[in-house]
A and B are shown apart, each in its own frame.
Chain A
Amino acid sequence: MTVLNTRISLVALACAFVSPSLLAEDSSLTNPAISAVLNGYYQTGERPLAESPDGFGLGETELAMSANIDDMFYGKITAVVEMHDGDTELNLEEAFIQTMAMPAGLSIRGGRFLSDIGYLNNQHLHTDSFTDRPVVYRAFLGGHYFDDGIRFNYVAPTDLYWTMGVEAFKGDSLRAADEHGEREFKKVGVYTLYSKIGGDIGDNSSWQAGLSYLRNENGQVTAHEEGEHEDEHAHGDEHAHGDEHAHGDEHEGHSHAASYTGKNTYGADFVYKWAPNGNYKYQNLTVSGEYYRVSDFTPIDLHPEDAPSQDYHQGWYLSSVYQFTPSWSAGVRYGEADTQELHGDHFHGQKLKESEVSLAWHSSHFSTVRFQYTNQKGTNFDGIEDDNIFTIQYIMSLGAHGAHQF
Chain B
Amino acid sequence: MRINSNLAKLAAVALSVTYTGLAHAELNVFACEPEYAALTKELAPTASIYSATTALQDPHQVQARPSLIAKMRQADLVVCAGADLEVGWLPMLQMKSANAKVRSTDHGLFFAADQIETLDKLASVDRSMGDVHVQGNPHIHFDPTRLLKVATALSAKLTQLDPAGAADYQKSLADFTTRWQAAVPRWEAQAKGLQGKKVIAYHSSFRYLFNWIGIEQVADLEPKPGLAPTSGHLASLLTRAEQGDILAVVVASYQDERGAKWLGEKANLPVVMLPMSVGGNDKSQDLFSLYDSVISLLNGVK
Taking a contact as CB atoms closer than 8 A, the residue among A103, A156, A161, A325 that contacts B228 in the complex is: A325
Q: In the complex, what distance in Å separates the CA atom of A29 from the CA atom of B94?
A: 11
Interface-central residue, B1, B66, B84, B91, by most chain A CB under 10 Å: B66
- Encode contact with A along B119-154: 1 for CB under 8 Å, 0 otherwise: 000011101001100110000000000000000000
- Closest chain B CB from A38 CB (angstroms): 13
Instruction: Answer whether A155 and B54 are a contact pair too, CB < 8 Å, given A199-B67, A199-B70.
Output: no
Interface residues of A in 353-406 (CB under 8 A from B): 364-366, 398, 401-406
Q: In the complex, what distance in Å separates the CA atom of A208 from the CA atom of B68?
A: 12
The answer, yes or no, to whether B289 is at the interface (CB within 8 Å) is no
**Is A155 a contact of B98 with CB atoms below 8 Å?**
yes
Q: In the complex, what distance in Å separates the CA atom of A157 from the CA atom of B61?
A: 26
Give the chain B neighbours of A56 by CB distance below 8 A: none
Taking a contact as CB atoms closer than 8 A, the residue among B2, B99, B125 that contacts A24 in the complex is: B125
Taking a contact as CB atoms closer than 8 A, the residue among B67, B90, B134 that contacts A198 in the complex is: B67
**Is A364 a contact of B130 with CB atoms below 8 Å?**
yes
- Encode contact with A along B21-65: 1 for CB under 8 Å, 0 otherwise: 000000000000000000000000000000001101110111111
The answer, yes or no, to whether A27 is at the interface (CB within 8 Å) is yes
- Closest chain A CB from B124 CB (angstroms): 4
Q: How large is the interface on A (under 10, 10 to 19, 20 to 34, 35 or more residues)?
A: 35 or more
For B, the interface residue count at a CB cutoff of 8 angstroms equals 51
**Is A406 a contact of B91 with CB atoms below 8 Å?**
no
**Is A273 a contact of B63 with CB atoms below 8 Å?**
yes
The answer, yes or no, to whether A74 is at the interface (CB within 8 Å) is yes
**Is B5 a contact of A159 with CB atoms below 8 Å?**
yes
- Closest chain B CB from A366 CB (angstroms): 6
Q: In the complex, what distance in Å separates the CA atom of A208 from the CA atom of B254?
A: 25
Give the chain B neighbours of A326 by CB distance below 8 A: 227-228
Quick one: closest B residue to A196, CB to CB? B66
Give the chain A neighbours of B123 by CB distance below 8 A: 24
**Is A29 a contact of B71 with CB atoms below 8 Å?**
no
Instruction: Answer whether A403 and B254 are a contact pair too, CB < 8 Å, given A105-B98, A279-B56.
Output: no
- Closest chain B CB from A275 CB (angstroms): 8
**Is B63 a contact of A280 with CB atoms below 8 Å?**
yes
Give the chain A neighbours of B91 by CB distance below 8 A: 29, 403
Give the chain A neighbours of B84 by CB distance below 8 A: 27-28, 401
Closest 8 CB pairs of A and B: A198-B66, A161-B66, A403-B92, A161-B70, A24-B124, A101-B100, A277-B56, A326-B228
Chain B residues proximal to chain A, CB less than 8 Å: 1-2, 5, 53-54, 56-58, 60-67, 69-71, 73-74, 84, 87-92, 94-100, 103-104, 123-125, 127, 130-131, 134-135, 224, 226-228, 254, 256
Chain A residues proximal to chain B, CB less than 8 Å: 20, 23-29, 71, 74, 98, 100-103, 105-107, 153-163, 196-200, 203, 206-208, 273, 277-282, 325-327, 364-366, 398, 401-406
13 A-B pairs in the complex with CB atoms less than 8 angstroms apart: A74-B95, A100-B94, A100-B103, A155-B69, A155-B98, A159-B2, A159-B5, A159-B71, A161-B67, A163-B96, A199-B70, A403-B89, A403-B91
